[in-house]
């Protein structure tokens, strides 16, 4: 080991030690270099110096750090200052400390931003996946069902969509997690383009969107998407950008999609589905009259009226003489637009124009129940982030008609009006077949959800509604 290298080693020692013993240490090394010649002796010398540095360095730092305890003991209870470090910090030390701090701060910022983007990215994917679980597992017949009542088993709903082909069991093929290759991407893009040109209600806009996705693919915009779900999200963004239509969606399912039904689905409800609906009490979890004559209906679905009209009418009749009604839709997963209209018809004195995004023509609520007393009762609707589809139609329309006060959280945001076109075992595209006529000046709830009038946590929504209703009833009785 040469003297220069050892001089570098010496820099590791505390300044105080170096000032006192640096020259002596170098002298000692020179003496040993002079006395110990030959390869073996030099190797031994190098080994000695390395082990010595490793062993003595901590000790040298320890003894050169002045003892705070000794300083305190010698102060004799009188206030005193003791300078622990005899020398000011070297500029080099300050520089290295500054660099280290800057580097660790930068690393922290980078890590934070990576974590941040992941955190923001995932809900977007989940939302797409969550919005269209029903359409992915069972192509809903056009204009028939708003979403699907998922309080009944999902496979029952699948059998409603394609009874002959799949039977009651939902397909549970092995999840395909194979990364996409460019050939498959191209096949999907080509099919998306063809479907847009063929099925989108605005022919020229559909063609423009088709050209846009092909253009994006040719320019390598799709190359980053290696997983099916990411690719579906990317294509969805592209076609929404091209058309401005948030009802368009490209969907990816890890499980193989059922074959497209050849014949239109039968209007008859299969027996298994009917039994499941009735076993679930048609989604009517509770109908009760709360304190202060406030009606409370906890409704978890809007099931098909063919099966559930009678139980629903019975539930509404049980609340007929209440002074105000709270519809608790916090766990409502949607269902049949006809049932949504049926329940809403109780709240109006005469047939009411009614927005249904699944109808090409403007629709109207059925005639009110003859002996109904709820037409003028205050209505409160409890919502949560889970409130979806048909329940959102109910909430959105009554809010637009100023017929109800919404309390809780912004809803999930799923209008589900596209017709599902299967592309292959894993990809499909939802395309609206007609332009929905929204009579209200705002856009509907697709993606954005329905915002409440009174924003509270879903857990607090019922108590808030009870307070508001009681206050309002007291005020009106004083008049």
Partner 1 sequence: MPKRKLDPLPAAAFQILLSLADENRHGYGIMRQVEEQSGGRMRLGPGTLYSSIQTLLDENLIEETSPPRNHDAPNAERRRYYRLTSAGRKLARAEAGRLADILRIARARKIFRGEYV
Interacting stretch for partner 1, rule CB under 8 A, among 57-65, 240-248, 385-393, 462-470? 57-65
Interacting stretch for partner 1, rule CB under 8 A, among 58-66, 346-354, 360-368, 386-394? 58-66
Answer yes or no whether residue 55 interacts with partner 1 by CB under 8 A.
yes
Q: Kind and range of the H or E element at 213?
A: helix 203-218
How is residue 34 written in tokens? Answer: 């002079």
Size of the site for partner 1 (CB under 8 A): 24
Q: Which is nearer to partner 1, 64 or 255 (CB)?
A: 64
Query: What are residue 295's phi and psi, to 5 degrees?
Result: -75, 145
Q: How far is the CB of 2 from partner 1 (least distance, A)?
A: 15
Which one of residues 2, 5, 11, 48 is an interface residue with partner 1 (CB under 8 A)?
Answer: 48
Interacting stretch for partner 1, rule CB under 8 A, among 47-55, 88-96, 249-257, 389-397? 47-55
Angle CA 266–267–272, to nearest 5 = 80
User: Could you say which residues in the range 4-33 bind partner 1, by CB under 8 A?
Assistant: 13, 17, 20-21, 24-25, 27-29, 31-32
Q: Which is nearer to partner 1, 42 or 186 (CB)?
A: 42
Task: Answer yes or no: are the C-beta atoms of 165 and 258 closer than 8 Å.
Answer: yes
Q: Which is nearer to partner 1, 24 or 264 (CB)?
A: 24
Which one of residues 7, 53, 246, 368 is an interface residue with partner 1 (CB under 8 A)?
Answer: 53
Answer yes or no whether residue 85 interacts with partner 1 by CB under 8 A.
no
Give a three-class secondary structure readout of 325-364: EEEECCCCCCECHHHHHHHHHCCCCCCCEECCCCCCCCEE
Residues 6 or more apart in contact with residue 66 via CB below 8 angstroms: 82, 84
Of 432, 423, 430, 431, the C-alpha closest to 185 is 423
Maximum CA pair distance of the chain?
119
Q: How far is the CB of 33 from partner 1 (least distance, A)?
A: 11
Which one of residues 60, 162, 284, 307 is an interface residue with partner 1 (CB under 8 A)?
Answer: 60
Q: How far is the CB of 35 from partner 1 (least distance, A)?
A: 8
Return d(Cα 210, Cα 202) in angstroms, integer.
Answer: 12
Q: Rounded to a whole number, what is the distance in angstroms from the first to the last CA of the chain?
A: 102
Q: How far is the CB of 7 from partner 1 (least distance, A)?
A: 11
How is residue 18 written in tokens? Answer: 């170096």
Answer yes or no whether residue 49 interacts with partner 1 by CB under 8 A.
yes
Answer yes or no whether residue 46 interacts with partner 1 by CB under 8 A.
no
Which one of residues 19, 43, 65, 70 is an interface residue with partner 1 (CB under 8 A)?
Answer: 70
Q: How far is the CB of 68 from partner 1 (least distance, A)?
A: 13
Task: Answer yes or no: are the C-beta atoms of 335 and 147 closer than 8 Å.
Answer: yes
Cross-strand pairs, 288: 296
* CA contacts within 13 A on the Cβ side of 19: 6
Q: How far is the CB of 63 from partner 1 (least distance, A)?
A: 6
Which one of residues 2, 5, 41, 51 is an interface residue with partner 1 (CB under 8 A)?
Answer: 51
Q: Which is nearer to partner 1, 7 or 309 (CB)?
A: 7
Q: How far is the CB of 223 from partner 1 (least distance, A)?
A: 58
Q: How far is the CB of 85 from partner 1 (least distance, A)?
A: 17
Answer yes or no whether residue 37 interacts with partner 1 by CB under 8 A.
no
Q: How far is the CB of 69 from partner 1 (least distance, A)?
A: 8
Answer yes or no whether residue 68 interacts with partner 1 by CB under 8 A.
no
User: Could you say which residues in the range 283-322 bind partner 1, by CB under 8 A?
Assistant: none
> 202, exposed or middle or buried, with CB in 10 Å at 0-12, 13-18, 19+?
middle
Which one of residues 56, 84, 89, 111 is an interface residue with partner 1 (CB under 8 A)?
Answer: 56
Answer yes or no whether residue 479 interacts with partner 1 by CB under 8 A.
no
CA 262 to chain CA mean position, Å: 34
Task: Answer yes or no: are the C-beta atoms of 416 and 389 closer than 8 Å.
Answer: yes
Q: Is 193 helix (H, G, I), strand (E, B) or coil?
A: helix
- How many angstroms separate the Cα of 255 from the Cα of each of 17, 30, 133, 176, 251? 71, 77, 11, 7, 12
What angle do helix axes 39-64 and 15-35 make, rounded to 10 degrees? 160
Return d(Cα 172, Cα 137) in angstroms, integer.
Answer: 10
Q: How far is the CB of 60 from partner 1 (least distance, A)?
A: 5
Q: Which is nearer to partner 1, 58 or 264 (CB)?
A: 58
Q: How far is the CB of 179 from partner 1 (least distance, A)?
A: 57
Answer yes or no whether residue 57 interacts with partner 1 by CB under 8 A.
yes
How is residue 164 written in tokens? Answer: 């002959």
Q: How far is the CB of 39 from partner 1 (least distance, A)?
A: 17
Q: Which is nearer to partner 1, 27 or 241 (CB)?
A: 27
Answer yes or no whether residue 52 interacts with partner 1 by CB under 8 A.
yes
Which one of residues 19, 41, 43, 63 is an interface residue with partner 1 (CB under 8 A)?
Answer: 63
Cross-strand pairs, 363: 354
Number of H helices, E strands in the chain: 16, 11
Residues that bind partner 1 (CB under 8 A): 13, 17, 20-21, 24-25, 27-29, 31-32, 48-49, 51-53, 55-57, 59-60, 63-64, 70
């Amino acid at each position: 080991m040469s003297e220069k290298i050892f001089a570098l080693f010496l820099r590791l020692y505390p300044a105080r030690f170096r000032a006192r013993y640096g020259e002596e240490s170098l002298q000692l090394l020179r003496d040993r270099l002079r006395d110990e010649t030959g390869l073996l002796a030099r190797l031994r010398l190098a080994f000695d110096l390395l082990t010595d540095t490793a062993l003595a360095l901590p000790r040298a730092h320890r003894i050169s750090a002045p003892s705070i305890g000794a300083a305190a003991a010698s102060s004799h209870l009188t206030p005193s200052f003791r300078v622990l470090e005899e020398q000011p910090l070297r500029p080099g030390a300050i520089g290295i400390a500054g660099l280290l701090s800057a580097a660790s701060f930068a690393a922290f910022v980078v890590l934070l931003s990576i974590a941040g983007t992941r955190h923001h990215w995932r809900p977007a994917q989940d939302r797409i996946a969550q919005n269209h679980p029903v359409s992915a597992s069972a192509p809903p017949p056009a204009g028939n069902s708003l979403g699907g009542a998922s309080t009944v088993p999902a496979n029952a709903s699948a059998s409603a969509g394609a009874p002959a082909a799949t039977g009651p069991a939902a397909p549970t093929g092995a999840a395909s997690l194979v990364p996409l290759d460019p050939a498959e991407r191209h096949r999907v893009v080509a099919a998306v383009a063809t479907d847009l040109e063929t099925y989108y209600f605005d022919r020229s806009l559909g063609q423009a969107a088709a050209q846009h996705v092909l253009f994006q693919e040719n320019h390598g915009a799709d190359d980053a998407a290696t997983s099916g779900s990411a690719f579906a999200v990317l294509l969805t963004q592209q076609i929404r950008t091209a058309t401005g239509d948030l009802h368009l969606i490209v969907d990816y399912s890890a499980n193989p999609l059922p074959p497209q039904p050849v014949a239109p689905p039968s209007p008859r409800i299969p027996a298994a589905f009917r039994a499941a609906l009735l076993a679930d009490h048609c989604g009517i979890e509770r109908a009760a009259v709360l304190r202060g004559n406030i009606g409370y209906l906890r409704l978890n679905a809007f099931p098909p009226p063919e099966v559930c009209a009678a139980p629903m009418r019975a539930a509404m009749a049980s609340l007929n003489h209440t002074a105000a009604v709270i519809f608790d839709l916090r766990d409502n997963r949607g269902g049949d637009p006809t049932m949504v209209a049926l329940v809403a018809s109780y709240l109006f004195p005469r047939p009411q124009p009614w927005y249904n995004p699944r109808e090409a023509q403007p629709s109207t609520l059925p005639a009110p129940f003859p002996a109904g007393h709820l037409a003028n009762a205050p209505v409160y609707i409890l919502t949560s982030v889970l409130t979806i589809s048909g329940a959102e139609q109910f909430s959105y329309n009554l809010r637009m008609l100023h017929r109800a006060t919404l309390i809780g959280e912004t809803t999930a945001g799923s209008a589900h009006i596209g017709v599902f076109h299967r592309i292959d075992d894993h990809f499909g595209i939802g395309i609206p077949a007609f332009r929905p006529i929204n009579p209200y000046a705002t856009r509907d709830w697709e993606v954005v959800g329905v915002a409440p009038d009174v924003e509270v946590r879903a857990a607090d929504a019922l108590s808030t509604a009870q307070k508001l209703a009681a206050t309002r009833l007291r005020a009106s009785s004083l008049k």
